[in-house]
Structure 1
């Protein structure tokens, strides 16, 4: 009987510590950025690769397998006529939203001006903006920047944000990247940005 190839040993810090156990699962390069993308909801592999500039196809495939093993993501086939599979976060994976929010808050003061080598996606501002948008009218806020549109669900149990316009937003926020950076870092409050003319917030007019 041919010998079965042994599976590679799972890398671990081998420390009886809750933080070390967490890093065993999410401490590898790209893992938390994949979580960031999937907080928007189910994504196809090609969509993930497009919004994670710099990751190789082999690296992305490997990380997704690791995350499936660790029950952070699951993969499912979309029903006909769509012939594609999507990855989505499990409850365990969605529980990482506070971790991403804390990391965004920690890193926001270091953003500065974009470097020439920096890729930019509008929806990357979604998680940093969650705190600034708490208390805005309604639950779904559609944000428009020069770089594109996204929407956030403040306080919702579903995906934290979505790329592109929302189907039925409760409010619309129009601003720019520099103001988003200031809101994310806490340099400006939303009320201050509006008063300074750097942001415009309007509620959706409801009929009926």
Structure 2
């Protein structure tokens, strides 16, 4: 493989950008945080990336220890890419970047693509606690592993097992949460987020909504 380009600066920020500063790399990490993904899945959920660029970035990520590739056993027999522990350490980086970028969201443009699971990272920032959460939006159904230190952070489709909490909300509410215009407690209080489930996370969300209603919080 060709040598990695470098800023040639003895600075940890510059060294980090040597590895993840190329276009698409961090967004590929975002997708791999959902668990093993086939190349075709990644290409489908990264609209705008060319096949050549995606293949090149994945090779770079394998070289740099951010991702690995393995072959699934029969009958799948397909190759999947997975984030490594080193790559997973970028989760708080993506969270901080997403929080910083709230002010840049603005109104959705006609050319903007959207996937339901792209709302997973902002929702994870708002959840206080640990557990499995199932989220239903107009764009689709996905699930989160709040507070998980290993394994996938989120995934498409229903929760794998009984979730600690189920959230139902519309895209406008989820967008307001992602922009930082609305707190989760106030969204629950106002009925913009319907919460169900018997787990600790559901209980916390109900309690926070009640505190917001009575003015005992915020």
| TM-score, normalised relative to structure 1 | 0.91
**Equivalent in 144, 147, 161 of residue 139 of structure 2:** 147
Give 1:40's aligned residue: 34
Which of 140, 151, 156 lines up with 1:163 in the alignment? 156
Work out the CA distance in 1 between the residues paired with 2:109 and 2:60: 31
**2: CA distance, partners of 1:109 / 1:198:** 22
Which of 63, 69, 78 is equivalent to 1:75? 69
Q: 2: CA distance between counterparts of 1:60 and 1:104?
A: 22
1:45–1:86 contact (8 Å) kept in structure 2? yes
Alignment partner, residue 24 of structure 2 = 30
Q: Where does residue 130 of structure 1 map in the other structure?
A: 124
Q: How far apart in 2 are the matches of 1:134 and 1:42?
A: 26
**Deviations 1:25-65 (CA, angstroms, capped at 9, x unpaired):** 00000000000000000000000000000000000000000
SS of 2:155's equivalent in the other structure is strand
Report the Cα offset of residue 204 of structure 1. Answer: 4.6
Unmatched runs of 5 consecutive residues or more in structure 2: 200-218
Among candidates 194, 200, 204, match of residue 200 of structure 1: 194
TM-score (norm 2): 0.87
Match of 1:176 among 145, 153, 170: 170
Secondary structure at the residue paired with 1:144? strand
Between the aligned partners of 2:14 and 2:47, the Cα distance in structure 1 is: 28
What is residue 7 of structure 2 aligned with on the other side? 13
Q: Secondary structure at the match of 1:143?
A: strand
SS of 2:101's partner is helix
Q: Please state which structure has a larger fraction of its residues in helix.
A: 2
Aligned equivalents of 1:113 and 1:202: distance in 2? 30
Is the contact between residue 108 and residue 181 of structure 1 (CA under 8 Å) also seen in structure 2? Answer: no
Q: What's the CA shift for 1:176?
A: 1.4
State how far apart, in whole Å, the 2-side matches of 1:132 and 1:177 are.
Answer: 16
Task: Classify the secondary structure of the residue corresponding to 1:41.
Answer: coil
Structure 2 CA distance for aligned equivalents of residues 52 and 204 of structure 1: 35
Matches within 5 A, 1:54-133: 54-133=48-127
Contact 1:172 1:204 in 2 (8 A): no
Which of 44, 47, 58 in structure 2 is aligned with 1:53? 47
